[in-house]
Structure 1
Amino acid sequence: MLYNFIDLFAGIGGIRKAFEPYGTCVFSCEWDKKAQETYFANYGEYPVGDIRTVNEKYDIPHHDILLAGFPCQPFSLAGVSKKNSLGRNHGFLDETQGTLFWDIARIIKEKEPQAFLLENVKNLRSHDKGQTFKVIKNVLENELGYTVYDEVINAKGLVPQNRERIYIVGFKKKLKFDWPTIPKEGPPLRSILEEQVDDKYTLSDKLWSYLQSYKEKHAKKGNGFGYGLADLNSYSRTLSARYYKDGSEILIPQEGKNPRRLTPKECARLQGFPVDHPDESQRYKIVVSDTAAYKQFGNSVAVPVVELIAERMIQAIERNELLETDNIDPTNLTEESTQEYVTS
C-alpha cells in the first residue's frame, strides 16, 4: 500500500527521502530560501514558505502521515490563572499558540493523519526544565488523541557521526510500535572522505593558530572548549549548522599541513544522503554555496536512522496490531493530572 505524506519544516528533505519508498509527498513547507533551492533541485518542487500563513483546512491536502523536524521553543503558560478565574476553558493546545509546535498541532487536529513522525534535538526532553516536552506529549496524547512513542537515537551506528536526536512517533490508533535496533558500531569516518580535496578546505595558518590558542586558553581554565581533530578510524563529533564558520568541531588531520574542513559532499555522506547513488536520477544534488550547504547538512537529519524508523512505522500501520489497555504506559498523564500541572 502507498501513503500520502506531508513534509513540514522540511529543510532539505532528509525525512522525506526516507519516506519516499512508501508513497507520495503531497505538501511541503520550509521557510529558508537556500534550503528551498536545494529542495527544488532534488524533488522538483519549491516548499511553501511560512507555515504560520498556511490554512490547515484549505491549503493542506489529505494525508496519511505527517513529518516534521520542528524547532525547539519554550511555551508560556502565562494567562492560565486568569482563564481559570474567568471560568474559561483552556488546554495545552491553546497554550502552544505563538510557537511553531502549535502549527503542527493545528494541522494534526484538522487532518487527523494515521501517523506522524517528529524530530528534534535530544535536549527537547530537558528544555525549559522539562516543561516543553510535557506540553508536547500532553497535546499529542490527551488533546489530539494519539498513541505516542519517543526515543533518543544516536546515529553513530549507521553513519560515522555522534548524533543524538529525539524522535516522536504517533498513531491515531493504539498501535503497537517497536523502535529499530541501531548497531553499536558503525562505519569509520575515513569511509566518507573524498580522495582528492581542494586546498581551499585546508585551514589557513591564521585560523589554525587561533583555534589552537583558543583551545589552550580554555584548557588552562579546566574546560574542554575548542576544536576537535577527528579520529578517522572512529566517528566524528556532531555536525552543526555553525560548521561553515571554522569547521572546528570536525577537523580532518592532514600529514605535513594544517587540518582541513570536511567538504560539503563529505557532510552529505556524513548524514547519509545518497550523493553517490549509481542512478543519477536518485543521486542527491548539492546546488548551493559551501556556506549554505554546511548550514543545511548541519541542520538536517541522519537519513539512515529515519529510514529504519519509517520502515517500522509502515510495518506497524500494516500489521494493525493494537495495544492492550493494560500495556499502555502508566506514566502518561491523565486529563486530570494535565490540568493539575497547568494550574500549579
Structure 2
Amino acid sequence: MLYKFIDLFAGIGGIRLAFEEYGQCIFSCEWDVKAQETYHANFGETPVGDIRTVDEKEIPNHDILLAGFPCQPFSIAGVSKKNSLGRNHGFLDETQGTLFFDIARIIREKHPQAFLLENVKNLRSHDKGNTFKVIKNILENELGYTVYDAVLNAKGLVPQNRERIYIVGFKKPLKFEFPEIPKEGPPLRSILEENVEDKYTLSDKLWAYLQAYKEKHAKKGNGFGYGLADLDSYSRTLSARYYKDGSEILIPQEGKNPRRLTPTECARLQGFPDTFKIVVSNTAAYKQFGNSVAVPVVRLIAEKMIQAIESDDLLQVEEKRGMAHAGK
C-alpha cells in the first residue's frame, strides 16, 4: 500500500526523503525562503509558507503527518540564548514555541493514521518536564493517539554524535518498537571529499582567535571552544550556527590550519545522498543541514512505523495500562 503523507516544518525535506519509498507527499510547509529553494530544487515543489496562516480544513486528507517542529525554544543553547536576551522560551516563545499547537490542530481536524514528530533531546527535560507533559497529554488524552517516544543517537549510522527525540503516534492502539541503532558507525573520514578548496581552511586570524578563546575558557574550567575532529571516530553535533566559524567540527590538515566541512560533507554527515542538490550559498547550506535530521535514523523509524500499521497488532488492555503507568 502507498501512503499519503504531509511534511510540516519541512526544512529541506530530510524526513520526506526517508518516507518517500512508502508513499507520496501531498502537502508541505516551510517558512524559510532559502530552505524552500533547496526543497524545490530536490522535490519539484515549493512548500507553503507560515503554518500559522494555513487553514487546517484545506490541508488534504493524509495517512501520516511528519513534522520536525522548531527546536530552538526547547534546546539547551536556545534556552540559554533566550534567557541572556531576556526573552521567553518553550511555549512562552510566541513565535516558535507555540507551533506545536498548529500540529495539534491539524491532527485534530484530519485524524491521520500515524504521525512522527522530531525535536531536540532537551524537549523531555525543558521546564522540569512540564513542556513534554503538555505535549503528551494533548497527543494522548485530547487527540486520542497511542504515543511512543525515544531519544536516538545517529552516530551508529552517520559519523556524528546527534541525539534527537522522536515521538511516534498511532490512531489505533498499535504495538510499536523503535529501531535499534548500531552502537558503532562509519568513521568521519568516510564522508570527506578528496579535493577541497583552500577557502575552507581557517585563516590565521580566525584560527588564532579560536585557540585563544578555548584557552581562556579552559582556565575557567569550562569546556567551550573549537572541536578538532578525530577522523577515525564521529564528530560533534552539526548545528545551524556552523556557518559562523565551523568551530564545533574542524578537520585537521597536515602542515596547515584546520578546515571546516564543505556543504557536501555536511549533507553526507546527515545521511543525504550525493544526488541531493545544494543550490543555495554556503552560509544558507550550513544552516539548512545543521537544522536537518539524520536521514538514515528517520528511514529506520519509517520502516518500523509502516510495519506497525500493516501488521495491525493491537496492544492488550493490560499493555496500555502499563504504558500509561510507565509514562511512555
The normalised TM-score by structure 2 is 0.91
Partner of 1:170: 169
For residues 75 and 239 of structure 1, the distance between their equivalents in structure 2, rounded to whole angstroms, comes to: 25
Partner of 1:154: 153
Once the two structures are TM-superposed, the CA of residue 332 in structure 1 deviates from its matched residue by 2.9
Letter in 1 for 2:44: G
Partner of 2:8: 8
Q: 3-state DSSP class of the match of 1:166? A: strand
Letter in 1 for 2:218: A
Q: 3-state DSSP class of the match of 1:140? A: helix
Q: Deviations over 1:128-174 (max 9, x none)?
A: 11111000000000000000000000000000000000000000000
Partner of 1:238: 237
For residues 239 and 259 of structure 1, the distance between their equivalents in structure 2, rounded to whole angstroms, comes to: 17
Partner of 1:92: none
Partner of 1:179: 178
Partner of 1:298: 290
Q: Which moved more, 1:321-330 or 1:194-203?
A: 321-330
Letter in 1 for 2:300: L
Alignment of 1:241-260 (within 5 A): 241-260=240-259
For residues 250 and 280 of structure 2, the distance between their equivalents in structure 1, rounded to whole angstroms, comes to: 22
Q: 3-state DSSP class of the match of 1:57? A: helix
Partner of 2:188: 189
Output the aligned Cα RMSD: 1.4
Partner of 1:71: 70
Letter in 1 for 2:34: K
Partner of 2:214: 215
Alignment of 1:36-51 (within 5 A): 36-51=36-51
Q: 3-state DSSP class of the match of 1:272? A: coil
Alignment of 1:53-92 (within 5 A): 53-58=53-58, 60-72=59-71, 73=73, 74-75=90-91
For residues 100 and 254 of structure 2, the distance between their equivalents in structure 1, rounded to whole angstroms, comes to: 47
Q: 3-state DSSP class of the match of 2:249? A: coil
Q: Deviations over 1:96-153 (max 9, x none)?
A: x981001000000000000000000000001111111000000000000000000000
Q: 3-state DSSP class of the match of 2:167? A: strand
Letter in 1 for 2:270: Q
Confirm or deny that 1:324 pairs with 2:323: no
For residues 297 and 128 of structure 1, the distance between their equivalents in structure 2, rounded to whole angstroms, comes to: 28
Once the two structures are TM-superposed, the CA of residue 330 in structure 1 deviates from its matched residue by 3.7
Once the two structures are TM-superposed, the CA of residue 223 in structure 1 deviates from its matched residue by 1.0
Partner of 1:18: 18
Letter in 1 for 2:91: F
For residues 114 and 246 of structure 1, the distance between their equivalents in structure 2, rounded to whole angstroms, comes to: 43
Letter in 1 for 2:172: K
Q: What is the aligned residue count?
A: 306
Give the 3 Å change call, closer, same or farther, for CA 116–321 of structure 1 in structure 2. same
For residues 296 and 71 of structure 1, the distance between their equivalents in structure 2, rounded to whole angstroms, comes to: 13
Once the two structures are TM-superposed, the CA of residue 216 in structure 1 deviates from its matched residue by 0.3
Q: 3-state DSSP class of the match of 1:170? A: strand
For residues 324 and 42 of structure 2, the distance between their equivalents in structure 1, rounded to whole angstroms, comes to: 40
Q: 3-state DSSP class of the match of 1:318? A: helix
Partner of 2:86: none
Greater radius of gyration (CA)? 1
Letter in 1 for 2:208: S
Partner of 1:308: 300
Q: 3-state DSSP class of the match of 1:328? A: helix
For residues 19 and 162 of structure 1, the distance between their equivalents in structure 2, rounded to whole angstroms, comes to: 23
Q: 3-state DSSP class of the match of 1:269? A: helix
Letter in 2 for 1:34: K
Give the 3 Å change call, closer, same or farther, for CA 320–159 of structure 1 in structure 2. same
Partner of 1:224: 223
Partner of 2:127: 128
Q: 3-state DSSP class of the match of 2:91? A: coil
For residues 121 and 219 of structure 1, the distance between their equivalents in structure 2, rounded to whole angstroms, comes to: 27
Letter in 2 for 1:12: I
For residues 111 and 54 of structure 2, the distance between their equivalents in structure 1, rounded to whole angstroms, comes to: 16
Q: Deviations over 1:172-192 (max 9, x none)?
A: 000000110110000000000
Q: 3-state DSSP class of the match of 1:75? A: helix
Structure 2 portions without partners, runs of 5+:
74-89
Once the two structures are TM-superposed, the CA of residue 71 in structure 1 deviates from its matched residue by 1.5
